[in-house]
Structure 1
Amino acid sequence: MTQTPVSRTATPPPARAARTERSTPPSGERSGWTSCPGCGWLLYRKRLDRNLQVCPECDHHLRMDARARIDLLADTGSFAEQDFTALSPDPLSFTDLRAYPGRLDDASRRSQESEAVVVGTARIGGHDVVLAVMEFGFLGGSMGIEVGRRVCGAAELALERGLPLLTVCASGGARMQEGVFSLFQMARTSQAFARLREAGQLSVCLLTDPTYGGVSASFATLGSVVVAERGAHVGFAGPRVVQETIRAELPAGFQTAEFLLEHGLVDRVESRAEVRPLLIRLLALHSSASSDADRSGLFGGAARPGPRRSDDGPDAAAPVHEDPWVVVQEARCAERPTTLDYLHSAFDDFVELHGDRAFADDPAVVGGLASIEGRTVVVIGHQKGRTVRERVTRNFGMPHPEGYRKAQRLMDHAEAFSLPVVTLVDTPGAHPGPEAEERGQAHAIAGIIMRSSRLRVPVVAVVTGEGGSGGALALCTSDRLLVMENAFLSVISPEGCAAILWRTATEAPTAARAMRLGAAHLLETGIATSVVREPAGGAQADPVAAADRLREALVRELDDLAGSDPDTLLAARSRRLSGIGGAEAHAGTGPQPAPRTQD
């Protein structure tokens, strides 16, 4: 590292504090008024400043310069800029209508910056971070050699100090005046972010308006978490280039932040006021994960085998249903708590992360970072919904391939940061439609089963309701498999089994009994490692009590698995999976577990 830190307050000079896109004549600016680029409304500049440069009429987020952005995100007075030794600014001796060095001088004078990115260290909510904030006012935030060098320098600084890296992106793309040298900054910065990922260092990329070209196709979209500011335009080729190249009619909202979220390309879209609180939560959750690893020596112990047991609560006298068809009806009850219900009641905090980063965000699968009893985990679950409208929107909890690819991406995140995984299973099965087949449904399910079978962090799965076929198994490959008392796991729905073997779906109750559906059979055969008792009347009768019991069971299992050595963990998981279907299962019985009483 050749950079040396230079202290600089995060508060910009008054003349620069509110610099944004403007469309009013100079006289309008001198009078303190400006018009909104989104709706044309005339805005009083002081009111606009108080509203964080967001139009109060149409919610258009005006552009902010780098210093104002740092002031918005960093704790007051915490920013210390990183100084970079100047290099030759003109590798091609480039001249168009004017010489390139003249353009650089003019850009520096106008933006009051030495380049299109500002790098330094700061604190956000008390958490130390490295910042790399792009300045669109410097040649449109274009990426040349110096921008690439500074972004890589920020990544190197994050690696050296073990700090998270936050990049705020605003760019028109590559810097044409530096030719192929500019092009290769995409590879240079991508390699720097790859090193961060390999080291398990958190990187968060905030995409602001606009982010295009070589920046969007390199480091801007390679963060551990990618957040887009509301209304930001992000893409590879700009709309004008697209229209001129292929003469295509572009869809409404094309390349907006909301468009990206719908297509699974970003984790979240936030308003400007919501960005800093979100960053603080993300930093706290990942900081807690690092502390957990240090305290437990992760991964320095041995995985314990995990006895089969029934978790008895105050209603332990209530028997597990013996009629499998009754279990099926209970598991399908529309009033049962959903994954999101449990996430907001059994866990202490939850930050949802969206999308498969390839095609779409499947609402039938929800997942993200959560905390429980001071421990950070990655939680993934099926989401059926409650109302008819929500169930239709969530596709009744039946995932498409992108839902499973989102889940696998979150498992990758868990392994990168040594976080345990918790899955909550409640689905009739994977979506069977032609569009799912076209996008590789079988490949997606096989991929996540294979990935979870070799995941080098603890995995605890809970069947909370209906567990239908491979669509459920995709989230059940785990070290511990818990089953709620009124839940089941099946190779096919009872109706499907009856239609095939009995030639009529009316024999579904008979099929359910023949397949021995229910928690009791799963526990007896060793498929489930634990049964979580539900309140009298089922989880739907007392969702709060059900969440409390699930929380207690999860905390116990996570405590049992904490500190497990990855190789030992994988060996135990392999033995567990290999043992399913052994002699005890064929006999239809198994050793009865000793009851466990929860205090």
Structure 2
Amino acid sequence: MIPVRTRADLADEWTKCPGCGTLAYTRRFVRELMVCRDCGRHARLTAGERIATLLDTGSARPLPFQAGVFDPLDFTDSVPYADRVREARETTGLEEAVVCVRGEIEGHAVVAAVMDFRFMGGSLGSAAGELVTLAAEAALAERVPLLLVTASGGARMQEGALSLMQMAKTSQALAALDEAGVLTVSLLTDPTYGGVAASFASLTDVILAEPGARMGFAGPRVIQQTIRQELPKGFQTAEFLFARGLIDDIQPRRALRGTLGRLLSLRAPRSFRQIPPRSAPPLVRDPRALPERDAWEAVSLARHVTRPTTLDLLYSMLDGFTELHGDRQARDCPAVVGGVGWLDGAPVVVVGHQKGHGSQEMARRNFGMPSPAGCRKAGRLMRLAAKWGVPVVTFIDTPGAYPGIEAEEGGQALAIAENLRLMSTLPVPVLSIVTGEGGSGGALALGVANRVYAMSNAVYSVISPEGCAAILWKDAAAAAQAAQALRVDARNLLEAGIIDAVIPEPDGGAHIDLAATAETLRAVIVDTLHDLSSLDGPQLVKQRRHRFRAFGATSCHPLPTPGHLP
């Protein structure tokens, strides 16, 4: 049995929120999953309560692991370590700071290792590290997703360097799951510090956190006492981490189960090969079927302020979408969005530029111009797609990569180059669609695909018409002339082979009818991924490399080798 505290038996009928001090009726507080109505503070849950909250009722079954009393140093401070362990067992009803179960979340199988802060502050000792590792090995053996729920003050000092070794051991276990393509998710709860934060908690595919949950390597007290550094407000909270691209999302407790259920469906994804074609509107593959048009008119429509953005299209087109954030290094670039979506039950990783609507949102999203963090976020999501074995669809709509000082300091060129190389190696189907502007390397960083399509009013170019005019005409006012010379419109792109097909838009442009545009895109994507799914990984990589190898192939000819001169 997994012990669960019974709140109904609490002596006090009222519970005081430790955050704002508000009194709450205890039974209602329990029904609301220990979340304060007034300030939103998420009170700590025991491991048993956490399992009951997240897993389907009656599905949790303890894994057959038993922890002994492990005292390698015969350590004693004011109390012998062995006595501390025995006391923790008596007060919590647990054998260790980690409870391991197998069960289901919304019908999807999962192995979960759940930490309990009451047991010696959730410290990571040899037994706790072994339990996490055994849970990971069970997930590996069964090819079932692993869920890690963390709550820890750090490594267990009473075990010396052996506790330190648990960081490496648990990290190895996560690496084995990566190699096997098994989905891993961590849920950060308050607090998660030290050796747990610096090992398995940070190494999963997706990192979720509860509001206000704190995570870091060194705790605030250690930082203040060691280097006397003043800490900013909200330091190390989930919100602080999210703003710096270190976690995927912050989810209130009541929403966690649904989010986890959607993610766990990636365990055995439905293939697009199993989905019958949707009879999509015919793609235009012959440039002669497209009217000749003024290039500047195409530029103007591609930039139309009400043209559907990537998020507009995703939320209109997909059956469900879970957005993931951050480059796991420094930032979450708002000019690039992405996550996991579903089409007819089949999952797909989607990534795209996001310009936004209205002056404030467009400025906040940097007008769709990605920073290095945006490229790294896109790359991280594409690597997850490769691990999970699901297709990638990218939506291109950017004037170009952000050209500022900060971007150059962050390695803008390197970030783009790494995406070009990465996309050349992905062993899953990749489809790229130019939905608006395709500007320079910022566009191509999402455009190395097996199939590249463009909306009929989209444009694609090595540089913006204004930039080209300023450099070659010495006059930015010559932008329309530059656009014509660059042949940026869909008809010319199709004729040059830059794109494989043109997707028709509603009369007047995609902004006239979002629903019709989204339905057309949905059908095109399903049909295309249906076709590409007949190829295996090496074939997809070979086809993609052959596609881009052909550009400019006729512009040069090999010289005769010495000894074979005419």
Q: Same fold (TM over 0.5)?
A: yes
Query: How far apart in 2 are the matches of 1:458 and 1:231?
Result: 38
- Distance of 1:214 and 1:582 partners within structure 2: 53
User: Do the aligned partners of residues 540 and 385 (structure 1) sit closer, same or farther apart at CA in structure 2, a change above 3 Å counting?
Assistant: same
One-letter code aligned to 1:224: D
**Alignment equivalent of 1:270, drawn from 224, 248, 251:** 251
Aligned AA (1:386): H
Equivalent residue for 1:292, pick from 262, 271, 282: 271
Change (3 A) 1:161 1:549: same
Distance change >3 Å, CA 383–CA 86, structure 1 → 2: closer
> Is 1:372 paired with 2:343?
yes
Q: How far did 1:287 drift?
A: 3.6
Partner of 2:117: 136
**Residue 584 of structure 1, CA deviation:** 10
* Aligned-pair CA distance for 1:309: 5.4
CA contact (8 A) 1:216 1:236 kept: yes
Give the SS at the match of 1:423.
Answer: strand
Q: 1:445 aligned to 2:445?
A: no
**Structure 1: distance between partners of 2:272 and 2:264:** 15
Q: How does 1:383-402 map to 2 (within 5 A)?
A: 383-402=354-373
Matched residue type, 2:93: Q
Equivalent in 450, 455, 465 of residue 479 of structure 1: 450
CA deviations 1:378-401 (Å, max 9, x no partner) are: 000000001111101111000110
Alignment partners' CA distance in 2, 1:161 and 1:368: 26
Match of 2:211?
230
1: distance between equivalents of 2:555 and 2:508? 32
Measured in 2, the distance between the counterparts of 1:561 and 1:65 equals 47
Q: Which amino acid aligns with 2:284?
A: S
Which residue, 2, 7, 11 being the options, matches 1:30? 11
- The answer for the alignment partner of 2:398 in structure 1 is 427
Deviation at 1:568, TM superposition (A): 1.7
Instruction: Choose 32-41 or 178-187, whichever is displaced more.
Output: 32-41
Among candidates 7, 16, 33, match of residue 52 of structure 1: 33
SS at match of 1:184: helix
Aligned Cα root-mean-square deviation (Å): 2.0
Q: 1:249 aligns with which of 214, 230, 236?
A: 230
Report what 1:25 is aligned to: none
SS of corresponding position for 1:527? coil
Match of 1:335, SS state, is coil
> CA offset at residue 320 of structure 1?
3.9
Structure 1: state its 5+ residue gaps: 1-7, 20-27, 297-307, 586-599
Residues 518-545 of structure 1, C-alpha deviations (whole Å, 9 max, x = no match): 1111111111011001110010111111
- Aligned residues of 2:105 and 2:261 also touching (Cα < 8 A): yes
Cα distance in 1 between the residues matched to 2:197 and 2:205? 15
Give the secondary structure class of the aligned counterpart of 1:564. Answer: coil
Residues 288 and 375 of structure 1 are in contact (CA less than 8 Å); yes or no, is this contact kept in structure 2?
Answer: no
Give the drift of 1:318.
Answer: 9.5
Q: Deviations over 1:469-516 (max 9, x none)?
A: 101110111110000000011001101101111110111111011111
> For the residues of structure 2 that align with 1:371 and 1:493, how far apart are their CA atoms?
34
Deviation at 1:457, TM superposition (A): 1.0
Output the CA distance in 2 between the equivalents of 1:515 and 1:317. Answer: 19
Closer/same/farther in 2, CA of residues 309 and 343 from structure 1, 3 Å limit:
closer
Q: What is the aligned partner in structure 2 of residue 542 from structure 1? A: 513
Q: Take 2:197 and 2:267, find their aligned partners in 1: how far apart are those partners? A: 27
Q: 1:180 aligns with which of 161, 166, 187?
A: 161
**Map of 1:332 onto structure 2:** 303
Deviation at 1:563, TM superposition (A): 2.8
Which whole-Å CA distance do the structure 2 matches of 1:252 and 1:331 have between them?
42
1:328-350 deviation per Cα after TM superposition (whole angstroms, max 9, x unaligned): 11100011100001101122111
Q: Does 2:70 match 1:89?
A: yes
1:520 is paired with a residue whose SS is: helix
Report the counterpart of residue 545 of structure 2 in structure 1: 574
Change over 3 Å in CA distance of 1:317–1:570 after alignment to 2: closer
Counterpart for residue 597 of structure 1: none
**Inter-CA distance 317–550: structure 2 relative to 1 (3 Å threshold):** farther
Partner of 1:343: 314
Per the alignment, residue 514 of structure 1 pairs with 485
Query: Match of 1:469?
Result: 440
Which segments of 5 or more consecutive residues in structure 2 lack a partner in the other structure?
A: 276-281, 557-566
Partner of residue 156 from structure 1, selected from 137, 142, 151: 137
For residues 294 and 87 of structure 1, the distance between their equivalents in structure 2, rounded to whole angstroms, comes to 49
Equivalent-residue separation in structure 2 for 1:202 and 1:433 (angstroms)? 37
Give, as a single letter, the amino acid of the residue that structure 1 aligns with 2:126: I
Q: 2:310 aligned with 1:310, yes or no?
A: no
Q: Does 1:65 find its partner at 2:39?
A: no
2:407, 2:171 → 1: CA distance?
A: 32
Could you tell me how far apart the structure 1 residues matched to 2:484 and 2:191 are? Answer: 59
Kindly indicate whether the alpha-carbon contact (under 8 Å) linking 1:17 and 1:68 is maintained by their aligned counterparts in 2.
Answer: no
Q: CA deviation digits over 1:242-300, x for unaligned, max 9?
A: 1111111111111001111111011110011111111111112x0452x428969xxxx
Q: Quote the sequence identity (%).
A: 52
User: Do 1:318 and 1:536's aligned partners in 2 also have CA atoms closer than 8 Å?
Assistant: no
